[in-house]
Amino acid sequence: MDSLLLALDKYYEEMVSIRRYLHANPELSFEEVNTPKYIANFHRELGLEVREGVGGRGVVAVLRGGKPGKTVALRADFDALPIQEENDIPYKSKVDGVMHACGHDGHTATLLILAKALYEMRESICGNVVFIHQFAEEVLPGGAKPMIEDGCLDGVDVIFGTHLWAPTPLGEIHVKNGAIMAAPDMFEVTIQGKGGHGAEPHNAVDAIVLGAQYVSQVQTIVSRRISPLKHAVVTVGQFEAGKAYNIIAEKATMKGTVRTFDEDVRSQIEKELESLVKSICDGANATYEFTYTRGYPPVVNHPEETALLADVAMDVPEVKEVKECVPLMVGEDFAYYLQKVPGTFFITGAKHPDWETAYPHHHPKFNFDERAMLIAAKTMGLATLKYLETFCNKCEI
């Protein structure tokens, strides 16, 4: 395992170079063309088996060890976001309105260099390593599900993945057995009232007033309808209505998100959201349309793999602390992989110690400490070798 750590140290500058190239050349979800080609060429030049177009735009590379054994999958996503970058850096995005504002460029660079380091020691590896490079994590229906349907997990025994996390200090690894990320759902409500003159509200049905009631009362769903022992978030993020200051709006449209970990809570909130708008509209002679779109399932880690990951993370020289984290209300389609095979998804701290402000993910000034990539590669690499060696030893006995 020491040889892996030394190899990763040796290739760290190349890892940074790859990340910066990808950062400067981002591609949106479901529009990735050059990025998967770049990834496939990198693996092919190493000598790995490569399959392109997996599930649409995904890339899967396979490293076969010198000895028979189990198969570990490692996953990284590579899509960017529709955000105009505001960072003043040499590798700033060259694509107008598109930016790697969530660390996926770092995820990809991490996995590519980890593949290179593992390939150098392939003869001593007991089993196989599958490198899953996923497109379109940011946009529903996501890339994980079609890649799984196209066989990216065939023959895989376990999977590991990480997210570089800018708010978490560099040197910290956060793990969580069970649910670590929420199910991110979307809803849209349209209230149809009756327009009219602003001076004659009695002759109209004001959609803005009804919409305002809805937004206000939505806040009581979690606080008064859901058990305080359950985690849930309901947020209305968009409210569109009206054409002029003196016209009573006939229509109001609201969009929002629901974040949950429990399937019963998820279903209850969906029902409550529609029940609420129905009661408001029924009482005001208005009509409504309601749609609820279920996003990814919650990310639920498996206990044995989470414990293994936490254990090996302490062997990474740059790791200062391994913590059990509280669940995050963000979503991730890594959830689909964990529904198929055992594994764990963990957080790698990526906040630079000298930065007073760590801009959040999906922010125009988002960035992370690139040394976090090395920590992520070492942690996933050691977890891979530890898992494979454990079963290899059992076979020899």
Q: Using alpha carbons, select from 236, 364, 227, 345 the residue that is nearest to residue 297.
A: 345
Helix H segments across the chain?
A: 2-10, 12-24, 34-46, 104-120, 144-149, 207-220, 263-282, 303-313, 334-340, 371-396
Q: Does the annotation count 79 as an active-site position?
A: yes
Among residues 27, 32, 77, 79, the one annotated as catalytic is: 79
Predicted confidence (pLDDT) per residue in 3-57, tens digit: 999 999 999 999 999 999 999 999 999 999 999 999 999 999 999 999 999 999 9
State the pLDDT confidence band at 99, using cuts at 50, 70 and 90. Answer: very high
Q: Does the annotation count 31 as an active-site position?
A: no
State the Cα–Cα distance between residues 138 and 76, nearest whole angstrom: 13
Q: Please report the pLDDT score of residue 356 as a whole number.
A: 83
Among residues 27, 32, 105, 137, the one annotated as catalytic is: 137
Given a contact cutoff of 8 angstroms between Cβ atoms, the answer to whether 210 and 250 are in contact is no
105-119: average pLDDT: 98
CA 39 from centre of chain? 19
162-175: average pLDDT: 97
Tell whether the model's pLDDT for residue 280 goes beyond 90. Answer: yes
Tell whether the model's pLDDT for residue 393 goes beyond 60. Answer: no
Tell whether the model's pLDDT for residue 394 goes beyond 80. Answer: no
State the Cα–Cα distance between residues 290 and 198, nearest whole angstrom: 27
Given a contact cutoff of 8 angstroms between Cβ atoms, the answer to whether 254 and 241 are in contact is no
Residue type, 315: D
Q: Please report the pLDDT score of residue 397 as a whole number.
A: 37
296-317: average pLDDT: 98
Q: Using alpha carbons, select from 376, 395, 232 the residue that is nearest to residue 316.
A: 376
CB within 8 A of 153, min separation 6: which ones? 73, 159, 337, 340, 341
Given a contact cutoff of 8 angstroms between Cβ atoms, the answer to whether 8 and 374 are in contact is yes
Query: Hey, what domains does the chain have and what are their CATH numbers?
Result: 2-181+298-396 (3.40.630.10), 183-293 (3.30.70.360)
For the chain, the residue count is 397
Predicted confidence (pLDDT) per residue in 237-246, tens digit: 999 999 999 9
